[in-house]
């Protein structure tokens, strides 16, 4: 995942401060801003028409933008275009201070679920694509299996956690056809001692149950299922192409029944939409009943591209709430600290009530990364023997224990 860019100046229209309304609590909103108790909707909303390709000519671009502009269109359906993106690696080194891990994997660029609040919309701007096309232009990473096999053999990865699905969902609809996530997991299943997590909003994750079982038997694996609300109609509005909340919780149950560690992300919590205490209580209870071992929660953080998407949605559906968001977020960023603290305390009370942890438990026994190509250890020498000098290619195939012995010689 790329590091965060320097935030552009806020448009003048977003810098104007709205008159402040008197509030007794930051968690309270005008009644008209509430979503009520909507009827259930089982079907997905109709996809929008495929927008015209809007990239500049590849010759005018550089880096990932040039690669994207030259990527061939492989398919177009469901209101979405799919492009084959040549990449140099599958593992991305993450430098953001907002996340607790170093390595990430995103099998796709763009996400068809089209969540209105998605922070990752800005990543399309690196490719000179507008953030509004995040769900309609999906770039499929090529040769994922071969590349991740090479990436996993690199020394800097050894012993580090790898987070799959940090910016785009690894089980979005494209995975049914392109199977990039499965190709990556197949290579990870060949190794022992990895530390992996998968974050998704899709019950499609259970299609890879065979691989998940194999990985969890020999590596540390956790699945993080995101469920923002139990209200199906609201979920359909906020996350148009994502599976229904009950289907996601059903996947949690299947994963737990298979012995795989799984928790539920209540994130992002959206002020005035998903933050009511009784709604959160029902969601945490449902997560517990489905077998979730932990819950995690954060209030929404709006990058500039996600701010524009979210405000457009609120202006159309919840105009009074849109005014509150303009006052609170002032263009982008975090909700007020007082509100975030209030929500944190609310979630903590629910954790205690339903006896859930805030994060996965660490494995009881630490495992060391082991390459399937390793046939010897550098410490296995007879009396009087000395290790030979190794080139970079040989070092790449040695376990961390062996490499430490090599360096100590």
375-389 mean pLDDT:
35
Number of domains in the chain: 2
**Tens of pLDDT along 113-156?**
999 999 999 888 877 788 889 999 999 999 999 999 999 998 88
Is the predicted pLDDT of residue 29 greater than 50, yes or no? Answer: no
Per-residue confidence at 298, pLDDT binned at 50, 70, 90?
A: very high
Say how many C-beta atoms besides its own lie within 10 A of residue 274's C-beta: 23
Same domain for 197 and 299, yes or no, is yes
**Tens of pLDDT along 181-222?**
999 999 999 999 999 999 999 999 999 999 999 999 999 999
Strand 261-269 versus strand 220-226 pairing type: parallel
DSSP 8-class letter at 102: S
Whether 54 is in a domain gets the answer: no
Q: How much is the pLDDT for 58?
A: 57
Same domain for 98 and 177, yes or no, is yes
68-96 mean pLDDT:
79
Whether 57 is in a domain gets the answer: no
Which residues sit opposite 103 in a β-bridge? 93, 162
Same domain for 249 and 321, yes or no, is yes
Q: How much is the pLDDT for 64?
A: 58
Same domain for 335 and 261, yes or no, is yes
Whether 36 is in a domain gets the answer: no
Same domain for 349 and 395, yes or no, is no
Strand 108-109 versus strand 137-141 pairing type: antiparallel
Domain of 409, in residue numbers: 379-409
Same domain for 210 and 335, yes or no, is yes
Outline where 41-126 has alpha helix (H). 63-69
| Length of the chain as a residue count | 409
Expressed in percent and rounded to 5, the helix, strand and coil fractions of the chain are 40, 15, 45
pTM of the model: 0.75
Q: Is the model more confident about 10 or about 237?
A: 237
Same domain for 103 and 213, yes or no, is yes
Cα separation, 122 vs 327, whole angstroms = 22
Any residues with CB less than 8 A from the CB of 81 and at least 6 apart, and which? 50, 53, 73, 75, 136, 137, 138
Same domain for 326 and 296, yes or no, is yes
Of 265, 264, 272, the C-alpha closest to 313 is 272
Beta strands in 125-242 (DSSP E): 137-141, 161-164, 195-200, 220-226
Whether 43 is in a domain gets the answer: no
356-383 mean pLDDT:
51
**Tens of pLDDT along 251-295?**
999 999 999 999 999 999 999 999 999 999 999 999 999 999 999
Cα separation, 76 vs 57, whole angstroms = 20
Q: How much is the pLDDT for 339?
A: 97
Cα separation, 166 vs 268, whole angstroms = 13
């Amino acid at each position: 995942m790329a590091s965060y860019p320097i935030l552009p100046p806020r448009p003048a229209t977003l810098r104007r401060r709205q008159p402040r309304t008197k509030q007794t609590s930051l968690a309270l909103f005008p009644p008209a801003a509430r979503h009520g108790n909507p009827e259930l909707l089982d079907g997905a909303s109709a996809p929008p028409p495929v927008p015209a390709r809007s990239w500049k000519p590849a010759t005018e671009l550089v880096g990932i933008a040039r690669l994207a502009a030259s990527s061939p269109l492989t398919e177009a359906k469901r209101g979405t275009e799919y492009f084959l993106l040549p990449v140099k690696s599958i593992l991305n080194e993450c430098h953001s201070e907002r996340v607790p891990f170093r390595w990430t994997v995103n099998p796709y660029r763009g996400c068809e679920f089209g969540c209105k609040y998605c922070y990752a919309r800005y990543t399309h701007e690196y490719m000179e694509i507008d953030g509004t096309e995040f769900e309609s232009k999906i770039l499929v990473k090529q040769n994922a299996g071969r590349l991740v096999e090479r990436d996993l053999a690199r020394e800097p990865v050894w012993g580090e956690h790898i987070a799959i699905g940090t910016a785009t969902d690894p089980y979005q609809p494209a995975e049914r056809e392109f199977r990039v996530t499965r190709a990556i997991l197949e290579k990870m299943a060949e190794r022992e001692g990895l530390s992996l997590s998968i974050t998704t909003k899709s019950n499609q994750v259970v299609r890879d149950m065979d691989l998940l079982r194999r990985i969890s038997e020999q590596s540390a694996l956790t699945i993080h299922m995101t469920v923002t609300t139990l209200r199906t109609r609201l979920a359909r509005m906020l996350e148009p192409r994502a599976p229904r909340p009950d289907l996601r919780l059903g996947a949690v149950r299947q994963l737990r029944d298979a012995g795989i560690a799984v928790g539920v992300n209540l994130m992002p919590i959206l002020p005035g939409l998903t933050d009511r205490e009784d709604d959160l209580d029902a969601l945490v209870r449902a997560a517990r009943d489905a077998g979730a071992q932990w819950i995690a929660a954060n209030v929404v953080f709006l990058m500039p591209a996600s701010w524009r998407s979210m405000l457009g949605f609120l202006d159309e559906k919840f105009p009074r709430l849109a005014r509150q968001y303009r006052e609170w977020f002032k263009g982008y960023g975090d909700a007020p600290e007082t509100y975030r603290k209030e929500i944190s305390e609310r979630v903590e009370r629910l954790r205690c009530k339903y006896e859930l942890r805030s994060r996965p438990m660490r494995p009881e026994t630490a495992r060391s990364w082991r390459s399937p190509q390793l046939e010897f250890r550098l410490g296995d020498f007879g009396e009087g023997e000395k290790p030979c000098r190794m080139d970079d290619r040989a070092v790449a195939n040695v376990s961390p224990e062996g490499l430490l012995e090599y360096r100590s010689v």
